[in-house]
Amino acid sequence: MPSPNQATFFVENLLTWYEENGRHDLPWRADAATPFNVLVAELMLQQTSAGQVLNVYGDFVQKYPTPESILDTPQEELADDIESLGLRKRTRYFREASEQLVENYDSSVPDTRSELLELQGVGEYTATSVLAHAFEKDVAAVDTNVARILSRVFGLDYDDKPEASENWELAEELLPSGRSSDYIHALIDFGAEVCTASNPSCESCPLEGICEYRSEESS
């Protein structure tokens, strides 16, 4: 586990990097995004790049601003609208989750983890992301990229295993209260731009000073 100084260094430098370099222009990160927009974006981002989602997200949320608008559309038309994203089961996720929202939550997106996890297509990462981005809850989410960053910086031996409970516990321990959305977005962008799976940019990395991986590589 990191020392308090390491934890502070990690979070402060990560958030500073994000403020200066993060992808603040992604529309699902805008303040105007509704909880339903955020849920749609998180379902789209499953196994899919932000670039691919960017190509369809704007038109999609304009056409489908509510769960009812999805249910009012023939399944084939909905499938055509998200075909470029791949993952055919996503059409079923959208329809069945929309049915659940209409029937059980008065067409709103619920704001508890247990309720979100009941929605079709929603797993731990998606539920946590919705809680952070739509409802500003103090929660942290771990995917493969986040697991890689934590493993490298803190010298953990459960590299690239996002489901490892140690990863989730550490990510939550480091979580800056009240900044969960920025924190999660920062980790996503940092993993895509700096601490990449191959050839990480260690020479210009703001976390270099505490990074175990970097220390071992240069010793």
Q: Which residue has the tokens 């508890």?
A: 112
42 classed as catalytic: yes
DSSP 3-state of 216 = helix
143 classed as catalytic: yes
Question: In the stretch 151-190, what mask flags binding to ligand SF4 with x, by CB under 6 A?
Answer: -xx-------------------------------------
Asked whether 26 and 54 are in contact (CB, 8 A), the reply is yes
Residues in CB range of 120: below 8 A, 6 or more apart: 92, 93, 96, 97, 100
Distance CA 48, CA 121 (A): 14
Site for ligand SF4 in 194-213 (CB under 6 A): 194-195, 200-202, 205, 207-208, 211, 213
* CB burial of residue 113 (10 Å; 0-12, 13-18, 19+): middle
Answer yes or no whether residue 64 interacts with ligand SF4 by CB under 6 A. Answer: no
Which is nearer to ligand SF4, 85 or 211 (by Cβ)? 211
Answer yes or no whether residue 7 interacts with ligand SF4 by CB under 6 A. Answer: no
Distance CA 20, CA 87 (A): 33
173 classed as catalytic: no
Answer yes or no whether residue 17 interacts with ligand SF4 by CB under 6 A. Answer: no
Structure tokens, 11: 């979070």
Which is nearer to ligand SF4, 79 or 156 (by Cβ)? 156
Residues that bind ligand SF4 (CB under 6 A): 149, 152-153, 194-195, 200-202, 205, 207-208, 211, 213-214
Catalytic residue numbers, as ranges: 42, 125, 143
